[in-house]
Amino acid sequence: MQARRLSIPDCFEFTPRVFPDHRGLFVAPFQEEAFVEAVGHRLRLAQTNTSVSRRGAVRGLHFADTPPGQAKYVYCPSGSLLDVIVDLRVGSPTFGEWTSVLLDSAEYKAVYIAEGLGHAFMALEDNTVMAYLCSEPYNPSAEHGVNPLDPDLALPWPQDIEPAVSEKDTEAPYLKEALEQGLLPQYDECVEYYEKLRAEG
């Protein structure tokens, strides 16, 4: 498995080897040794999630109060999607910047999104499946969102696909409003938490 550090600190892309044959294929989208070598600590697993989305469905932009936040390791077992990570950590050198990765069921790439980062994706075809490995269980009181169509963020959604956004995500504040409301994670607190995880091994 190959690991690549993305342009936003504390998120990584993982590309596993795919083994096709006359029966189909085999792939291991998560491999602990490669993960630990890249990230510096083991993936704590508290919950797994699966979503199935039609073409154009947008989920996100979501984040959780940190610490403990909720780190995610995501991949696409069926279909294809554009995965987007936004640095929402106030004080980060890349605050407000985004990066994106195409996830699909051809290469089975995966993305790790550390605590405090914002996560969203758009399904590029019907019946696209997203699999999530989450470090913490879902905690509705600690989860927040930023509007994924915020024009100031200008996320790279394909222009030829009409986005389908939930009412909850449509009503989420823009980044500037979330900053003014004090909803966003603090970069120094996130970094302190990452260091704690690495120290624990």
119 is catalytic: no
The distance from CA 129 to its chain's CA centroid, rounded to whole angstroms, is: 14
22 is catalytic: no
Tokens of 120: 């969203």
Tokens of 103: 């996830």
Catalytic residue among 22, 41, 62, 75: 62
Compute the distance between CA of residue 59 and CA of residue 108 in angstroms, rounded to an integer.
19
Compute the distance between CA of residue 166 and CA of residue 59 in angstroms, rounded to an integer.
8
Q: Angle 141-143-148 (CA atoms, 0-180°, nearest 5)? A: 145
Catalytic residue among 41, 75, 108, 132: 132
Compute the distance between CA of residue 104 and CA of residue 127 in angstroms, rounded to an integer.
12
Residue 132 near residue 77, CB atoms below 8 Å: no
Tokens of 13: 């892309």
Residue 120 near residue 100, CB atoms below 8 Å: no
Cite the active site residues: 62, 132
